[in-house]
Amino acid sequence: MPFVKLKDIAKACKSKNAGPFELTLDIMFDNKALFDEVRKSGRITAEVIAKLYQVDVRDVLFTIYPPALAFKATIARRLASGAIGDTDIYGAQQHAPLLEIEIPLTDNMNEMRK
């Protein structure tokens, strides 16, 4: 089965500060059927977020929010926003690892992308 990168099927993948000590990651879709296929794939989970961001899975607050066709995760920032050594004061560039998540491309998904 072929795979497609999340960046090629998600409407939005973004990150932002959730206060000075936490970071929120959002993955959103504009198609319910596509969102459901991605959810069923099991490729976006607290465990995947923990691995990508090198944090303990117990430190990932993970929510699937079907009314918004969205996945949301909150993790602790490595450094407080604005601290010496912080390279992204707004947390707006921390979504990049999400973009490369590979999702199995089912026949249904392939049709939805056309």
**Sequence-ordered list of residues with C-beta below 8 angstroms from that of 55, at least 6 positions apart, any chain:** 49, 75, 76
Q: Per the domain annotation, does 89 fall within a domain?
A: yes
3-class SS of residue 16? strand
Is the residue at 77 inside a domain? yes
pTM: 0.90
Range of the domain at 49: 3-104
Q: Is residue 112 part of a domain?
A: no
The tally of domains found in the chain comes to: 1
Instruction: Report yes or no on 29 lying in a domain.
Output: yes
Give a yes or no: residue 13 inside a domain.
yes
Considering only residues 13 and 114, tell me which one the structure prediction assigns the higher pLDDT: 13
User: Across the strands, what pairs with 22?
Assistant: 76
pLDDT per residue as tens digits for the range 50-98: 999 999 999 999 999 999 999 999 999 999 999 999 999 999 999 999 9
Would 114 be classed as within a structural domain?
no
Band of residue 1 on the pLDDT scale cut at 50, 70, 90: confident
| Structural domain includes residue 111 | no
Does residue 16 contact residue 92 with C-beta atoms inside 8 Å? yes
